[in-house]
Structure 1
Amino acid sequence: WEALVKEEGGRYVAGLPLPVRRKFGLRYLQQPLFAQELGFFYLEAPTTAEWAQLGSMLRQQFIYITKYAFNVGNAAVAGAASLGLTSAPARTYHLSLQPSYAELWASYRPERRRHLRKAQQHALIVEPTTNIDLLVQLYDENIAHRFVRVQGEAYEYRLLRALYSAAFQVGMTSLWQARSTEGEIVAMMLLLHFKQQTIYFVSCTTVVGRALGATSMLIDDFLQQHAGQVGYFDFESPGISNMERFYGSFGSVPVPFFTIVSDQMPWPVRQLKAARILLYQRFRPRLTPDSSPD
């Protein structure tokens, strides 16, 4: 990690975290796994001139940015239009926790209420746990095969365990499971908590859990416990239509942010990179993310 920072009076007043990667002697930016939004963090909103300066510094420092995502707060203060870099819109889904649970329930779409009534009939038990290894196991057995190039224990699972351990030590995470009356764990949900924000970080469900509506039950149980409080639930939408429909069915609303890319590499290098991408797209396994959790 590197950073661009603004300093005043001996203290940092703004900063941009930079996940720097290196390959063949080239320094470039690439959004890291498990970090949906990065971007500019500040005590006072940056001016248009400061955004332009930021864009200029990024172009000077990096001739290649595969993807870099700014946070939702940046989208409200110009940002993309002032950076002078190619940008693309993105969105996540937020659900305010301030309404009462009765109000939240009323905002659920009819199909979500039907799923929850079905789940309630099966008397699923929602309870806290610290068994991160079981979450990894269930994810590997039920979810991982839907995605291309998951390395498992060589990368993603090792990183997920480290993130959970670090967040657990400072009280910023909670892990929940749905258990059937027979004692089988059919779904799990890992949340991150920071100030007034709860992030729906990782979830997984078994075939049985999907049939029982276990993921809906996990989310609904959390909303019941925290309704009427200041804060919001961030679904961290991956931009997949079926998942967005699922998140929206809880009454959440889309919240925009933006990503940037930049390719100032020499023409021969760009051609080689384009050829490599075409070969990968042609011969990669035809796996795509599945539909919504339940």
Structure 2
Amino acid sequence: MNPIWIKNIEINRNKWDACINECSWGNIYSLSFYLDYITHNRWDALIIGDYDYIMPVPIKSKFGIEFTYRPDFCQQLGVFTKFNIIEKEILQLFLKKLTERFITFIYPLNHENTVFNIKKIKFNKKTNFVLNLNTTYTEIYSKYSNELKRNLKKTEKSNIRLNENTSIDELINIYKDAWQNLHFINDKTYIAFKKVTEHLIDNKKAKIFSVIKNDKILSACVIFFFKDRIYYPFSAITPDGKKNNSTEFMINEIIKKYCPSPLQLDFEGSDITNVKLFYKKFSPINKSYFQITKNVYFLEKFIIFRIFLKNVLHFKK
């Protein structure tokens, strides 16, 4: 029972999405429409049986070397199954296929893909904070850090409010203004994410929130809904927003809006120290997952060598 490699054009998207929906840990990043937009249709699949076990494989190439990778806005991929249990032996078959196909890769598994030793693969544990909303707001608030409680008290006097009429373009522009020099996201990726968001909004599976003061946006975010999760994939804040603790206010208002319910708020990370400390103020649980890598330095060295060679040949001309 070995995984079979299926090219993108041959993937039965109805059967694919049915498996993601049936799998108890199926996530929004692995739905076919999401992958189509985010990878620009550059993803293949490994499949066992009649879509009984599936694994999305985004593909890129540089200087003729093909590899799989973690696309922007796709935190977790990995192996999914309609049987709701994944044996280590089956997971191993999928990962061995990756090592056979690619010289190098960086690929995110999901929180149900158990780690074990496989030759040539390095496993890196990644942080993912999730907050259960299945209780009252009072109980959730009681577990907030003292710093967060103090900051929320300040927002009560700052005349800020939550707004639900912000566009995805406004959110992206705020992010660009704040982070463009530090976080490289190209225009092609922004366009793809905008299409994903608009698709989900049209299907009532996404909302955009912002925090307003004196008719000015201080911060904004988009949330996605899939199964029992609220995903928090993208947010942005202005300098004035930081002064007014607007992101803390925004997340707190979202929590108020959706609790109590059987949903979980998925913060999507993070291992960045300041971001991790920020999310920890809400007392979420860490539902970690593994990112696997193979020969990540090989591609970097190869690219540097090609650039060096190109410059040398250019100089000789």
The TM-score bracket by the shorter chain reads 0.7 to 0.9
Which of 37-46 and 215-224 deviates more?
Answer: 37-46
Matched, 1:91 2:121: no
Match of 1:33 among 72, 80, 93: 72
Asked if the contact 2:79–2:91 (Cα under 8 Å) also holds between the matched residues in 1, the reply is no
Q: 1:47 to 1:143 in 2, by over 3 A?
A: same
Segments of structure 1 that go 5 or more residues without pairing to the other structure are 278-294
Matched, 1:64 2:110: no
Q: Which amino acid aligns with 2:144?
A: Y
Matched, 1:158 2:191: yes
SS for the counterpart of 2:68 is strand
Q: 1:276 to 1:116 in 2, by over 3 A?
A: farther
Segments of structure 2 that go 5 or more residues without pairing to the other structure are 1-42, 308-317
Deviation at residue 91 of structure 1 after TM alignment = 1.4
Match of 1:219 among 251, 261, 276: 251
Q: 1:13 to 1:161 in 2, by over 3 A?
A: same
Asked if the contact 1:94–1:252 (Cα under 8 Å) also holds between the matched residues in 2, the reply is yes
Deviation at residue 164 of structure 1 after TM alignment = 1.1
SS for the counterpart of 1:137 is helix
Which of 135-144 and 217-226 deviates more?
Answer: 135-144
Q: Which has the higher contact order (CA 8 A, sep 6+)?
A: 1
Aligned to 1:207: 239
Q: Counterparts of 2:133 and 2:146 in 1: how far apart (Å)?
A: 20
Q: Counterparts of 1:38 and 1:200 in 2: how far apart (Å)?
A: 16
Q: Counterparts of 1:130 and 1:243 in 2: how far apart (Å)?
A: 24
Instruction: Among all aligned residue pairs of Structure 1 and Structure 2, give the percentage whose two residues are the same amino acid.
Output: 22
Query: Please, what is the CA RMSD of the aligned residues?
Result: 2.2
TM-score (norm 2): 0.78
Q: Which amino acid aligns with 1:170?
A: N
Q: Which amino acid aligns with 1:118?
A: K
Asked if the contact 1:51–1:82 (Cα under 8 Å) also holds between the matched residues in 2, the reply is no
Deviation at residue 98 of structure 1 after TM alignment = 0.8
Asked if the contact 1:52–1:82 (Cα under 8 Å) also holds between the matched residues in 2, the reply is no
Deviation at residue 264 of structure 1 after TM alignment = 9.4
**After superposition, what is the alpha-carbon deviation per residue over 1:74-125, rounded to whole angstroms, capped at 9, x for unaligned?**
2xxx3x2054422111111010001210001101000001111111111211
Q: Counterparts of 2:203 and 2:260 in 1: how far apart (Å)?
A: 25
Q: 1:23 to 1:272 in 2, by over 3 A?
A: closer
Matched, 1:115 2:151: yes
SS for the counterpart of 1:192 is strand
SS for the counterpart of 2:173 is helix
Q: List aligned pairs for 1:134-173, cutoff 5 A.
A: 134-147=170-183, 149-151=184-186, 154-173=187-206
Q: Counterparts of 1:209 and 1:270 in 2: how far apart (Å)?
A: 38
Match of 2:89 among 38, 49, 57: 49
Aligned to 1:174: 207
Asked if the contact 1:55–1:82 (Cα under 8 Å) also holds between the matched residues in 2, the reply is no
Aligned to 1:184: 216
SS for the counterpart of 2:181 is helix
Q: Counterparts of 1:179 and 1:274 in 2: how far apart (Å)?
A: 46
TM-score (norm 1): 0.83
**After superposition, what is the alpha-carbon deviation per residue over 1:234-279, rounded to whole angstroms, capped at 9, x for unaligned?**
10113101100110101112121001111299x8x775357689xx
SS for the counterpart of 1:12 is coil
Asked if the contact 2:166–2:210 (Cα under 8 Å) also holds between the matched residues in 1, the reply is no
